[in-house]
Structure formats: C-alpha cells, structure tokens
C-alpha cells in the first residue's frame, strides 16, 4: 500500500520539471493526481507535457487527470478545484509548484511581467489554498506544500555576488514563504500542515536550462528532481505537529526526515539528493 493510497492530490505546473516529478512520485504512491499547466501537449520550445505526465502515472497503475489552465488568469482557479473534485473527490494535498521566472534588470522589468509573476507565484497559491483549506479543516486533515526558491533569501552586504536579475522572482517567493508561515499558524489546530520547500541551489529542468541564467554556484549544489519529489512526499505525509510552517530546503529536510531518495516509480533507491548522483533516472521527468 502506497504512502498516499486513496489521497487526492493537485499539483500545479506539472507538465515538466519539478512539478511532473512530484506528480509521478505521488501517483506511484497511490494518490489520485490532478495535474495542471497551460497546455495539454508539448510546448514549442520545451520538452514535456501534461499528457506525458498523465501517461507516466497511468503506466505505473496510478490515476491521473489533466486540467489545462492558465494560473495567471484568476478566473481559472476555481475551475481547477471544481474539476479536480468532480473527477476524484475532495483535495487532500495541494502542491503549489507552478512559477513564472523573469530574470531581467530591475529597470527593464515591465508592469505586465511584474503582474504575471505575482499572479502565478503568489496569488495563485494564495487563492487555491483559500479554496481547499475549508474542506481540509472540516475533515480534520490536509497538506499544502509551496515550492519556493533559494532566490528568496535576503541579500547580505557587501552584495558583491548578488544576482540582481532575480529581484522580482525572489520577491514573489519571499512573499510565498511569509504566506506559508502565516497560513500554517492559522490552520495548525485543524490538522492541516502547510510548508514551503526549495532546492538548496538549483534543480536543472527543461525550464531552467532554457533560461540559461542559473549561476554556477547554484549548479554546484544542484539537487535532482527525484530528491525534490522525495522531500515533497515526506512533507505531504507527515503527521508531526512540529513539522508545519517550515521554510525549508530539499537536502536538509530529507536528512531531518531520514528519507532516502527513490526513483519516481518509488522502486529504485538512488545514491542521494545531488543531481549528478540521480542523473540516470531523469529520463521522462518533466515542469510547467
């Protein structure tokens, strides 16, 4: 019996990268997984699609359902929840993974990009959480995981190595983390766990590789998609009352939980969380 047997999970941004990895890992643990992204089929310039994520879960005997939606359009958010509930039932686990990353100089960041980044990275997790929290509280249990970024870390003087292109992305992720802590405090008494988790440095995905802006120092400590999926699983099955409201990182939380990293099918143990160690199992992973 899988660790998420019978649970209903919604993962945003699940056509490739981290989101697809989490969806596949959870699906192989018995969850009924609703996955959402902007398109059903492959992006013009990036590998991976919602269709492929669903097929990978179904091929392993799991259940998955694709929902095409643009999280930048706030009118789509209630529909995502409605479709998930109609297909699988009330949502037990929400993973807010989708993100818009614009790496631009501060003075060249347009209002449109500012709004899109905030709509996807902050408002969508806020609103989706608003929509699922009442049911979770009524049932007395639920899990929300917000995928963050190391760019949320406050810059420290003398600022010599600060990546100025990440101001917008880091600011939205910092807001997401503050939201995580506040919501966790508000719903803890109802048996709902709310956490934030980010890679220590970076997770090479189709999206980050296409952007080509990940610093070398981040790649030096890059963690695998499998490690991110395993850490996410640990945070979405926990019943430890002290393990909520955490603003944590992938490798440290894996060590705290004492979890080994497995391939996305949950069958093969990998050597560890680092990208180089888990590289052989990356085929078929995808984010959206």
How many CA atoms lie less than 13 Å away from 246 in the CB half-sphere? 26
If we measure between CA atoms, which residue out of 132, 166, 134, 131 comes closest to residue 152?
Answer: 166
Q: Which residues of 172-209 are buried (b: 16+ CB within 10 A; e: fewer)?
A: bbbbbbebbbebbeebeeebbbbbbbbbbbbbbbbbbe
Provide CB contacts within 8 A for 54, sequence distance 6+: 35, 64, 65, 66
Q: What span, in angstroms and rounded, lies between the C-alpha atoms of 137 and 178?
A: 21
The alpha carbon of 29 is separated from its chain's Cα centroid by a whole number of angstroms, namely 17
Q: What span, in angstroms and rounded, lies between the C-alpha atoms of 36 and 85?
A: 14
- 225-235 and 250-257 helices cross at what angle (nearest 10)? 50
Q: Which residues of 139-166 are buried (b: 16+ CB within 10 A; e: fewer)?
A: eeebbbbbbbbbbbeeeeeeeeeebebb
Catalytic one among 122, 169, 179, 262?
A: 169
Q: What span, in angstroms and rounded, lies between the C-alpha atoms of 156 and 284?
A: 38
Q: Return the number of other C-beta atoms located less than 10 Å from residue 104's C-beta.
A: 16
Q: Tell me if 236 sits within 8 A of 95, measured CB to CB.
A: yes
103 is catalytic: no
If we measure between CA atoms, which residue out of 142, 145, 132, 134 comes closest to residue 84?
Answer: 132
Distance between start and end Cα atoms, the chain: 29
The alpha carbon of 223 is separated from its chain's Cα centroid by a whole number of angstroms, namely 14
* Positions marked active-site: 169
């Amino acid at each position: 019996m899988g660790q998420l047997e019978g649970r209903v999970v919604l993962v945003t941004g699940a056509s490739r990268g981290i989101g697809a990895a989490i969806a596949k890992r959870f699906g192989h643990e018995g969850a009924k997984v609703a996955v959402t992204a902007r398109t059903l089929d492959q992006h013009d310039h990036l590998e991976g699609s919602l269709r492929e994520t669903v097929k990978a879960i179904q091929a392993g005997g799991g259940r998955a359902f694709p929902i095409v939606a643009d999280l930048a359009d706030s009118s789509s958010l209630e529909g995502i929840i409605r479709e998930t509930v109609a297909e699988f039932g009330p949502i037990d686990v929400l993973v807010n993974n989708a993100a818009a990353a614009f790496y631009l100089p501060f003075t060249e960041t347009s209002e449109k990009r500012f709004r899109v980044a905030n709509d996807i990275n902050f408002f969508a997790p806020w609103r989706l959480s608003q929509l699922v929290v009442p049911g979770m509280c009524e049932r007395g249990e639920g899990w929300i995981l917000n995928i963050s970024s190391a760019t949320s870390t406050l810059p420290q003087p003398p600022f010599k190595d600060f990546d100025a292109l990440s101001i917008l992305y880091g600011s939205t992720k910092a807001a997401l983390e503050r939201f995580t802590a506040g919501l966790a405090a508000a719903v803890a008494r109802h048996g709902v766990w709310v956490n934030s988790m980010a890679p220590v440095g970076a997770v090479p995905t189709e999206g980050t590789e296409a952007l080509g802006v990940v610093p070398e120092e981040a790649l030096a400590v890059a963690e695998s998609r499998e490690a991110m999926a395993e850490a996410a699983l640990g945070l979405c099955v926990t019943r430890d009352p002290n393990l909520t409201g955490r603003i944590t990182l992938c490798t440290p939380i894996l060590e705290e939980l004492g979890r080994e990293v497995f391939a996305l099918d949950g069958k093969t143990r990998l050597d560890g969380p680092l990208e180089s160690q888990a590289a052989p199992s990356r085929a078929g992973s995808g984010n959206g």
